[in-house]
A and B are shown apart, each in its own frame.
Chain A
Amino acid sequence: MQALVIVAHGSHLNPDSSAPTHRHADTIRATGAFDEVKTGFWKEEPSLREVLRTVESDEVYVVPLFVSEGYFTEQVIPRELRLSGWDVSEWDSDGLSADTATLSAKDTGQTVHYCGPVGTHEAMTDVLVRRAETVTGDPDVGEDFGLAVVGHGTERNENSAKAIEYHAERVREMGRFDEVQALYMDEEPEVDDVTDYFESEDVVVVPLFIADGFHTQEDIPEDVGLTDDYRTGYDVPSEVDGHRIWYAGAVGTEGLMADVILERAADAGAEIEAAIDTVREETRDAEATGDVALDRETGTAGD
């Protein structure tokens, strides 16, 4: 028996933080690729300390739903899961290349394949692009469009900026968008100046965040100039300094994120090829224009 455990931050204050985690877990559960799919949280229940006890399988793939390598993936999660003998050198990572380490859980005796975070996986680049498709309602979006990938910046950890750069570069190499730019909330180049960095009239702005929260729902919309007050909402797209800004909200809410979670588990040895194909197909909804139109009206991009 093999289980998947998705671990995420969660919140004591609102359910939006864990909602995407649950949804991706549901998507993966529906494929039947794992005997069990569970979720565990730093701030919600089951806690990281106890989640493995809710798993009956002996073989567990643990995938952190975090944007970058750092404090949570390197210290908090392994400590709270009680992974015996964990040392960050197990991942032998340059800040972007953590893939998997196989350890034993001291608490339950299970074999745990502890994977790198979703945010640094190459498949995440496809989710950024898919997010652009979803928010514009155009499965071929790219031509005459700019794409901004937005991150926190180095305030909390330097790897966070690395992940942003990495995906921005990969989207650039695809040659699909006219321009691609990495932007940050707390360092140069800043998201406040987004329109200075693009020639294209249309710019899709995608924050590389796992869930929507203060940063993606309040700070960035105001910083970008979509609205003076996030509470009044904003249109998608919104006019800012002669550009049409298509603000996508947290990339982590995109259905295709489930694919990245599966890719992480597959890289760690889980045999789930068929599930990966299913998820890639079933999470595509750019053609389903109904949802997107609705989003535009309410002015709350994404979900």
Chain B
Amino acid sequence: MTDVRDEQIEALVEQLTSGSDPIDFDGLHAAATEDGYALSTPEGGEYEGLSEADLRAAAGDGGVAPYVTNWYYWEEVVGHRGRHRRAFLRHAEAAHEQTVPERYAALEDGMRTEWGEVVVTATLGAHGERRYEIRHTDDAGVDSGPLNVDSDTPDADSEALDRYDDPLDARELATYDDRGRYRPLKSAPSLVSGWVFDDLDGRDAVETLDVFYPASVANWNREREGDLDVTHWRETAERQTGIYDIVEDLPREAVEWVAQACCVDSQCLKRREWQYEEGDDLAADGGAGAFPCREPCSLVVAAARKWTKLAEEETHTYEFELTPSEKEQIEAIIDAVADGRVDEIREADVYEGANRYRTRYLRAKRFDDKGNLSGTPTHPNEE
């Protein structure tokens, strides 16, 4: 697994002779000195005054080879261009906490990172190259099937996961939930399962994550670097123009309800970091997601516009005739809809207030022919 390819040694020599700084990376130290090459690793001992042939031999040594292939992977393959990408991939093998031999041992079994509803597993390929697998957390332990070249015709008979290798295929997987409804919020916990990207390189792995959870890697890394710019509710609301400029008028307590309604983990897997304003936190739970939400999203702003308009209405005292059980039933219906449980309520389970027969019975009994609850008009004065 950890034998060193010529190309990797050549890159090492090239780096040492190019006049750039000596190598000091994840425990590998290497330099070109006046009397030959110097090389050392924590486990592999220290060499000095090596010729290029000696360097080659030393680099291929069992204790040193993992350090060389590790250096090559991070510095030559991944490189530093994509700072967020690199940070995520380092995180995926706990590079800041574990030594190279520890990581190589752990990568043999696969190192898992949960990200929203998916799990990324990093493994070790040949010559220290890393490979990444991405699948739904619900699909842990499920076998993968043959590679799916035409994403429109997954093999419906197969128990196995549909295999993909193009990050852009994630777009289709993320578009609809398991009931075929459009998913406007990519971080909603409604990602379908049954697929796997089983053999990605680092670039494609991060690209795939970025399709499932757009900008999540960048925001996570900025947060990790202590550089996440959070835009709180007030600032977001004040920035709005056009039809959205009214959301500024949404009262503070209503913003609390917005966060409760939309941003908790059961609705959105981003961890809400925005508050009412700097120094004025909302009480609603922001969630425990792996990646942060740095400002109210467009869905929340659009919903807030509706709630702002609704907030302009005055309350009105209505009188309804309901039995205690009917009042409780209405509460049960609201709960079932709000928690998205309507589909789980069994057809004949008339003990559930939100059961369809129970609800139809309530409507038959309590609605008049204009659809008014208990025959009470919504706008009594207009009747």
Contacts and interface: CB of A to CB of B under 8 A. Distances in A.
A42 B82 contact: no
Interface string B203-227: 0000000100011001100100000
Interface string B309-328: 00000000000000000000
B215 A46 contact: yes
Contact of B184 (A1, A13, A53, A54): A13
Contact of A44 (B82, B83, B184, B294): B184
Contacts of A47: 214-215, 297-298
| Interface range, A side | 20 to 34
Interface string A49-79: 1110110100000000000000100011001
A45 B229 contact: no
Contacts of B84: 53
Question: Could you say which of B214, B294, B295 has the most chain A C-beta atoms within 10 Å of its C-beta?
Answer: B214
B182 to A, nearest CB: 5
A26 B211 CA distance: 13
B239 interface: yes
Contact of B214 (A42, A46, A79, A107): A46
A53 B219 CA distance: 8
A56 B215 contact: no
Nearest to A49: B295
Contact of A12 (B219, B222, B302): B302
B214 A54 contact: yes
Given A15-B175, A56-B82, A75-B241, A51 B215 contact: yes
A48 to B, nearest CB: 9
A53 B215 contact: yes
Contacts of B214: 45-47, 50, 54
B85 A22 contact: no
Given A50-B219, A56-B81, A12 B299 contact: yes
Secondary structure dominating the interface of A = loop
A45 B215 contact: yes
A43 interface: yes
A14 interface: yes
Contacts of A15: 175-176, 182
B168 interface: yes
A15 B173 CA distance: 12
B242 interface: yes
Contacts of A22: 171
Interface of A: 1, 11-15, 22, 26, 42-47, 49-51, 53-54, 56, 71, 75-76, 79, 107
Interface of B: 81-85, 168, 171, 175-176, 182, 184-186, 210, 214-215, 218-219, 222, 229, 231, 239, 241-242, 294-295, 297-299, 302
The 9 closest A-B pairs by CB, nearest first: A46-B214, A53-B218, A45-B214, A50-B215, A12-B184, A56-B82, A46-B215, A45-B186, A43-B298
Given A12-B298, A56-B85, 4 more contacts: A47-B214, A47-B215, A53-B215, A71-B242
